[in-house]
Amino acid sequence: MRRSLLLGVVTALAVLAAPLLTAPADAAPTLPSAQSALTAAPATAASAPAMVTAADPWVVGTFEPMYRPDRLFDSRWASFGRPLRAGETVNVKVAGRGEVPARGLGAAVLNLTVTQPSRSGNIAAVARGRSASGTSSLNFVAGDTRANLVTVPLDSEGWVSVRNNGTGTVHVIVDVQGYYYDGSGTVSGYDFFPLGSQRVLDTRGSAPVSPEATKTVPVRLSNLSLSNSTAALAVTVTVVSPSSSGYLSVWDGINYPKTSYLNYRKGQTTTNAGVVPVFTPVDDLYTRYIDISVFGAAAVDVIVDVNGAYSAAEPGGLIYRPASSPQRIVDTRIGRGTTTLGTADTNWVQAPSTAAPAGTRAVVANVAAVAPTASTFLSLWSYGAGRPKGSNLNPAAGQTVAGFAVMPVSQGRFNIYNHAGRTDVVVDAVGRFEPHPAR
C-alpha cells in the first residue's frame, strides 16, 4: 500500500554498541559481535534461471518500502532456540507478516545478518523450494557478525528459504525492508530510478559522528535529479576504520526501526546497502535529510552514497524482474565472465542474455570479493560511463566479503574496478530492472 508522503527524504542511521564489522566506503543491517574475512560458495556451473513473469504489466515489478522494517526470523528466538546446523535450511514466511501484504508479491528485499558462526562459511537465500547450491548471499568467518542486503523471489505462498552452506553452525537473522508486487493485484508501488553512485556524506573530511549523537545530512533532490515524489532511497553506507565495535540502524527519522542496518567491528571498514523510506519536511520541499544516530563507544566516520530512488511512475522509471533462482555470471576463479583483477584494474563483463536480455537497464546481483591480497575496495558500474566515487565492497586483505549491487548496464555490459592488490570476484545475478512495457 502506497502511503501518501509530503515530498521528501529523511533517513537515519543508528549505531549501537556491540562487537561488529568494518571496510572502507559504504554500508547496511543489524546485531552485535564480529570479525571479518569470508568464504564464497564453490565454483560450480550454474544453469540459467527463467525470469518470473506476472499478470498486470503496470503493477508487476513496482516497489513498496517498509516504513518500519520488520524482523521475520531470528534463530536466537526461543521459538527456534539454536543456530542453523551445517547444511540446514530454514523456511521463512514473508507474505502476511507485519505490514507485508498476504498476497500479490513477487520478491522481497531482505537484510540478512549472521552472528556467532563456529566456522567460516556462507548462507544463501532463495525462493522456497529452489536450489541454493553454487551461489551465496552472505559470507562470514568464525566469530563474525555481518549483514548483507538481498532481493529474493518468493514462492507462490510467500516464503523464502535460507540455507547454511557452511560446515559449522551459525545464527541467522532475517529482516524485511520492502517488497515488489507480482502483478496479480491492483495495488501499484513505486518505480526505480538508478543514479549510479552519488556521495552525499563523507565525514572523513570534517568530523566523525559522535557516540550517542545524531547527525542530520541534507540531500538536495535537484542535485541528484530526483523527483519530489521520491518515497525511498537506495543507499550504500560505510563505516570507516572505527575505534570500537557497533552497529547502525537506518530509518526515515520518524519510524524508528526495531532492526539494525550494518554491523561493524573495531578497526574494520564495513559496507552495506539498503532501501530507506523518506519523509518530506513541510518547510523545504526540495531538500531531504538523512539522520545518522550513533550509539557506540566511540565516534565513527561514515560514508553515504545514494545509488537510486523509488518514485511515482514517470518517464525513465524502471520495474524489477526477479530471476527464479540466482545465476552465477562471474567467477574469476574459473575464468567465467572475466579474469582476476589486479591493482587499479577495470575489467568489463558481458552479462549473458539470460541475466540481461534486451531492454535491461540494470542487473541486480550479489557480489563477492574472494581473498584479496591487500585491503581494497570494488566498484561496479555501467560500461562506457565514468567510474563513480562510491564503492560496493570494502574487503580487508584475505577477506571474502559479499555485497549487494544494482549495476547499470549498457547492452548488457558493466565494469568492475579493484583498487589494490589482486582479487577474485564472484557475481550472482538475482534479477534485473527494465522499463515498463509500452501501453
Same domain, 372 and 262: no
Q: Which has the higher per-residue pLDDT, 381 or 294?
A: 381
Cβ-contact 40, 401 below 8 angstroms: no
Q: Of 278, 364, 311, 322, nearest to 61 (Cα)?
A: 322
Please tell me the predicted confidence (pLDDT) of residue 303.
94
Partners of 149 in the β-ladder: 111
pLDDT surpasses 80 at 27: no
Residue 424, all three cell numbers: 577474485
Lowest mean pLDDT among 121-125, 126-130, 295-299, 398-402: 295-299
Q: Judging by DSSP bridges, how do beta strands 262-264 and 171-181 pair with one another?
A: unpaired
Please give the share of the chain, as a percent, with pLDDT higher than 70: 85
Give the residue numbers spanning the domain of 155. 1-317
Average pLDDT on 174-195 reads: 92
Same domain, 308 and 395: no
Q: Quick: pLDDT tens for 219-234.
A: 887 888 888 888 899 9
- 36 pLDDT band, cuts 50/70/90, is very low
Phi, psi (deg, nearest 5) at residue 7: -165, 40
Alpha-carbon distance 407 to 415, whole Å? 9
Residue 281's CB is within 10 A of a number of other CB atoms, namely 15
Same domain, 38 and 174: yes
Please tell me the predicted confidence (pLDDT) of residue 72.
98
Please tell me the predicted confidence (pLDDT) of residue 46.
42
Count the domains in the chain.
2
Please give the share of the chain, as a percent, with pLDDT higher than 90: 62
Same domain, 305 and 330: no
Q: Which has the higher per-residue pLDDT, 21 or 266?
A: 266
Alpha-carbon distance 29 to 326, whole Å? 21
Please tell me the predicted confidence (pLDDT) of residue 13.
54
Alpha-carbon distance 348 to 225, whole Å? 27
Same domain, 311 and 325: no
Please tell me the predicted confidence (pLDDT) of residue 30.
33
Alpha-carbon distance 353 to 20, whole Å? 39
Q: Of 337, 341, 342, 343, nearest to 407 (Cα)?
A: 337
Please tell me the predicted confidence (pLDDT) of residue 6.
38
Domain end marker among 272, 298, 317 = 317
Q: Quick: pLDDT tens for 93-115.
A: 999 999 999 999 999 999 999 99
Residue 20, all three cell numbers: 561488529
382 membership: H or E segment, kind and range: strand 378-382
Q: Quick: pLDDT tens for 76-89.
A: 999 999 999 999 99
Please tell me the predicted confidence (pLDDT) of residue 288.
72
Same domain, 327 and 277: no
Q: Of 219, 278, 236, nearest to 67 (Cα)?
A: 278
Average pLDDT on 20-39 reads: 32
Q: Quick: pLDDT tens for 347-362.
A: 999 999 999 999 999 9
Q: Is 422 helix (H, G, I), strand (E, B) or coil?
A: coil
CB within 8 A of 272, min separation 6: which ones? 26, 27, 28, 29, 111, 147, 148, 149, 236, 237, 261, 262, 403, 404
Same domain, 292 and 335: no
pLDDT surpasses 70 at 183: yes
Domain end marker among 302, 317, 332 = 317
pLDDT surpasses 90 at 292: no
Domain end marker among 299, 317, 335 = 317
Alpha-carbon distance 93 to 111, whole Å? 14
CB within 8 A of 277, min separation 6: which ones? 11, 65, 66, 67, 231, 232, 251, 252, 255
Alpha-carbon distance 270 to 259, whole Å? 17
Same domain, 261 and 336: no
- 334 pLDDT band, cuts 50/70/90, is very high
Same domain, 270 and 329: no
Q: What are the b/e assignments for 308-331, b being 16+ CB within 10 Å?
A: bbbbbeeeebbbbbbbbbbbbbbb
Same domain, 196 and 298: yes
Identify the DSSP state of 41.
P
Longest dimension (CA), the chain: 56
Q: What is the pTM of this model?
A: 0.87
- 269 pLDDT band, cuts 50/70/90, is very high
Same domain, 15 and 128: yes
Average pLDDT on 329-353 reads: 98
- 136 pLDDT band, cuts 50/70/90, is very high
Same domain, 261 and 326: no
Question: What's 353's domain CATH number?
Answer: 2.60.120
Mean pLDDT score of the chain, rounded to an integer?
A: 85
